[in-house]
Amino acid sequence: MGQSLNFCMITTFYPPYNFGGDGIFVYRLSNELAKRGHNVDIIYCKDAYLMLQHKGPKGNFPNHPNINIHGLKSRLGLISPLLTQQTGYPLLKRKEIEAVLRSKRFDVIHYHNISLVGGPKLLKPRKEVTLYTMHEYWLVCPMHVLWKYNRELCTQRNCFWCSLAWKRLPQLWRYSGMLEKAIKNVDCFISPSKFTMEKHHEMGLQIPIKHIPHFLPASEEGIVEDETAEIEAQTKPYFLFVGRLEKIKGLQDLLPIFKDYHNAELLVAGDGKYGNVLRKMAKGCSNVKFLGHVSFQELQKLYRKAIAVIIPSVCYEVFGMIVIESFSMKTPVIVNNLGSLPNIVEESGGGFVYKNKAELTEAMDILRTRPEIREESGEKGYNAYRKYWTEESYLKKYFDLISRISVQKKTIKQQM
């Protein structure tokens, strides 16, 4: 599209008021659009973040001048996202959200994770092109992750009792038909992986879904040569785990392996509520090091020097952003045979997929002892990243989708 467009991104989290990959993706997409001359307004909920993180936001996330940020904060604080979670309405934020949407003529309204910023009642009939990216499984799962009773994969839904097991109040609006009506007002849903697209269809959502993989901007790709003192001091070969320290990320399955695996260390980059449990599990295991939160710049250095990045997730990952980040540093990955990750590895040739402890250990030994295979896998991963997972690849598909929907809407309007 040659002309400048007005975009509105609506999301619960946005950096630095952000925990996971959904907010980071919105940040990357918004800034890439802004760099190309488009105008982007971002609506997000500060209250939702502060409800979960009382210490406040961390990190520096500069935005392009073409970006206008609307961080919503209610005088009632956490009550606002709690009311949205329970009712499905943007009760205390509705006027502010609608005021932004009326402030200019938007061409595209792009919803992301809207669970606490507005819920399904945000999805109104609108004349603009409306898109929704499936960052999680919120459309089919109150817990967002299809992790039943906080202990196992969800293969058969029992949402009421599962919510109680997670110590959450059940969302009664999910039994009212509200969501089913609301999603009809979205022109198209975007799925980062084919697996996630198929999973939503399998779970009964008959909605238009377009597969457009996430991307890593070229500006964040650069190979880092200089090393910090901490990484320079890292003389032993190491594997790397990156991610939030939660049960669904599967780090607990790696720790027993490294208690007996003394040929390399395991560096753990990330933090989370499950961190204390994991640190206790690793007590006495000298070759496991917890690094805590690591900036993206430092993380690049860790990626670059690792034998491989191990991703042992025990849930259905929507997309493997950590895989792409690793590939951008020419480092292979080893992933559990679950969710979207195996497809990325098999499509790229950038690593190994394992089904059990023996296969994981075998893959680790191959990449540790045969540097030519590590180098070849890293190169394949990097080439696939450059082909499939850059901003140019994403934006071409993104604007093609917007153009197609715009034409459809104009045709329908002319026929009325």
Distance CA 138, CA 146 (A): 9
Closest C-alpha to 173, from 89, 51, 298, 60: 89
Break the chain into its structural domains and give their ranges.
Answer: 6-215+391-415, 222-388
Domain 6-215+391-415 shares a fold with domain 222-388 = yes
Q: Which CATH number fits domain 222-388: 3.30.930.10, 3.40.50.10890, 3.40.50.2000, 3.50.50.60?
A: 3.40.50.2000
* Residues facing residue 104 across a β-bridge: none
Q: Which residues contact 396 (CB under 8 A, 6 or more apart)?
A: none
Determine how β-strand 147-148 pairs with β-strand 152-153: antiparallel
Cβ–Cβ < 8 Å for 125, 185: yes
Which two tokens mark 116?
Answer: 């606490």
Residues with Cβ within 8 Å of residue 292, at least 6 apart in sequence: 269, 270, 271
**pTM given for the model:** 0.93
Contact by Cβ (8 Å): 39, 30:
no
**SS3 (DSSP) at 266:** strand
User: Which fold does the domain 6-215+391-415 belong to in CATH?
Assistant: Rossmann fold (3.40.50)
Count of other CB atoms within 10 angstroms of residue 256: 13
* Per-residue confidence (pLDDT) for residue 222, from 0 to 100: 55
E-strand spans in 146-185? 147-148, 152-153
Q: How far apart are CA 71 and CA 76, in angstroms?
A: 15
Do 24 and 215 contact (CB within 8 A), yes or no?
no
Q: What's the pLDDT at 97?
A: 97
Question: What is the model's pLDDT at position 229?
Answer: 43
Burial class (CB in 10 A: 0-12, 13-18, 19+), 231: middle
Q: With a cut of 50, list the residues of the chain below it in pLDDT.
A: 223, 227-232
DSSP state of 356: S
